[in-house]
Amino acid sequence: MLKVLISLGKSFYQAFPDLGDWLREEGIQVTEQVSADQEPSREQRKSLLRDVQIYIVGVDRVDEEIMDAAPDLKLIIKHGAGYDNIDLEAAKKRGIAVTYAKGENAQSVAELTMGLILAACRGIARGDREVHNQVWNLFMGCELSGKNLGLIGYGNIGRRVAKIARGFGMKVYACDPWVSGEELKREEVYPADFETLLETADFLSLHIPVTETTRHLINEEAFQRMKASAYLINTARGELVDEAALKKALKEGQIRGAAVDVFQKEPPDPSLALLKEAVFTPHLGACTVDSARRLSFISFENVMNFINQRPLKNRLV
């Protein structure tokens, strides 16, 4: 009997828990590791994977050690769009196919991005905390209309952010080597290079994967080039930002604020919580019922494609 391990965050899986039932209805043996929002221990996962053929995974690190503990593993299905937690080369060496859910959570992440922009520049999160603590202080923010939004990355999420931001009257600029200037202009987005975005953006928003080139792309030098009135928004990957440099930039007033949904380590360093100039959320980008439903559909579809020897959708390896 085919065996599948589903390892997802508790809150995310409970939002749309039908995936396991759909698979069982097809006669598949399913184990669900969905008891917490944090990554389970390596030893626990290695034990669960011992005789599994398909691994449906959220944020768990899937490296050579994990794969070697699963000699029967044939397919890893990333239940999400970002696949930097999976060692693709290791999978390729072992003949393990890997798929991901390209674009399925893009709208949810884009909407959160705009929510964080508003929360940062209007003090929404701070105001909520203070009123709950029976403190009544007014503080000044800024309008979005007429402000420069710089997008680093113009893929599925960046495009949606641009569309929403234009509705607020923002001027949208984007830097993406894979998108031509002509295409950007057709979508009412101004092409710009990385240095120009750093120097001119009122809001700098990250929408790229982590690679050797992009790791700590936003570092101390980058913060020094940004406007003192600028905000950094990160709903992509925590490793894009040097968190020590972020703390320094906020404490020294190199930028006005930040709104961050992703961190180098999750949960993050507690010292970040002391930064009043920042809004932090616990990796909520894809956490909508709508996104959870779409991700479950595509994960189920690829399990069935595997069983019926059909081409896998969004195959990486």
H or E element, residue 38: none
Q: Which residues are within 8 A (CB) of 293 and not within 5 positions of it... i.e. 6 or more apart?
A: 16
How many residues would you count in the chain?
A: 317
Examine the residue annotation and report whether 160 is marked as an active-site residue of this protein: no
CA of 47: how far to CAs of 44, 50, 69, 166, 249, in Å?
5, 6, 8, 50, 44
The residue annotated as part of the active site, out of 237, 239, 243, 256, is 237
Cα-Cα-Cα-Cα torsion 133, 135, 137, 142, nearest 10 degrees, comes to 10
Distance (Å, whole) CA 258 – CA 261: 10
Distance of CA 45 to the CA centre of its chain: 23
Pairing of strands 257-260, 231-234: parallel
295 is written with which tokens?
Answer: 């991700």
- Of the candidates 221, 266, 310, 315, the residue annotated as catalytic is 266
Rounded (10°) angle between helices 289-307 and 18-25: 20
277 is catalytic: no
The reply to whether omega before 267 is within 30° of 0 (cis) is yes
The answer to whether residues 67 and 90 touch, using CB atoms and an 8 Å cutoff, is: yes
Q: Is 195 assigned a catalytic role? A: no
Give the residue numbers annotated as catalytic, written as ranges: 237, 266, 283
